[in-house]
Amino acid sequence: MPCRFLRSCIVYYYKFDFPATSLQKIMATSMAAALAASLPAAPAASAAPAPTYEAIPASMAKVIDIEAEIPLTCVQLDGLVVTKIIKHAREAPSTTAHGLLLGLDLDGTLEVSNSFPLPHHAGDDDEKSAKSSARHQASMLRSLKEVQADDSVVGFYQATTLGAFFNQTLVDTQAIHQEKLRHGGIVIVHDLSQTARGNASFRAYRLTATFMDAYRKSNFSTASLINHRLTFSSILEEVPLKIRTNPLLSAFLGTLEDSKKGGLSSSAEGSKTNSAINPSFSVLDLGTGGVARNLEQIVEAVDNYRTEEGNLSYMSRQIAREKAKAENYIAKRKEENQNRIAQGLAPLPEEDVSRLFKIPAEPSRLESLLVLGQIDAYGKSLAGTASTSLVKMYAAQAGSDV
Which of 285, 308, 289, 291 minimizes the C-alpha distance to 370?
308
Neighbour-count burial of 18, counting CB atoms closer than 10 A to its CB (0-12 exposed, 13-18 middle, 19+ buried): middle
The answer to whether 356 and 316 have CB atoms below 8 angstroms apart is no
Query: What is the value of pTM for the model shown?
Result: 0.67
Neighbour-count burial of 10, counting CB atoms closer than 10 A to its CB (0-12 exposed, 13-18 middle, 19+ buried): exposed
- Rounded Cα gap, residues 338 and 345, in angstroms: 10
Would you write out the chain's pLDDT as a tens digit for each of its 402 residues? 545 544 454 444 444 444 544 545 555 555 556 555 565 555 555 555 666 656 666 656 655 566 667 778 889 998 888 888 988 888 877 767 888 999 888 878 888 988 988 887 665 566 777 777 788 888 888 888 888 888 788 889 988 877 678 888 888 888 988 888 876 789 999 888 777 777 778 899 999 989 998 898 888 888 888 888 888 888 888 899 998 887 777 777 677 665 544 444 444 444 445 555 566 666 566 666 667 788 888 888 899 889 988 888 888 888 888 888 888 888 888 888 888 888 888 887 777 767 777 777 788 888 888 888 888 888 887 877 777 777 777 776 666 665
- Rounded Cα gap, residues 155 and 187, in angstroms: 6
Percentages helix, strand, coil for the chain (3-state, rounded to 5) are 55, 15, 30
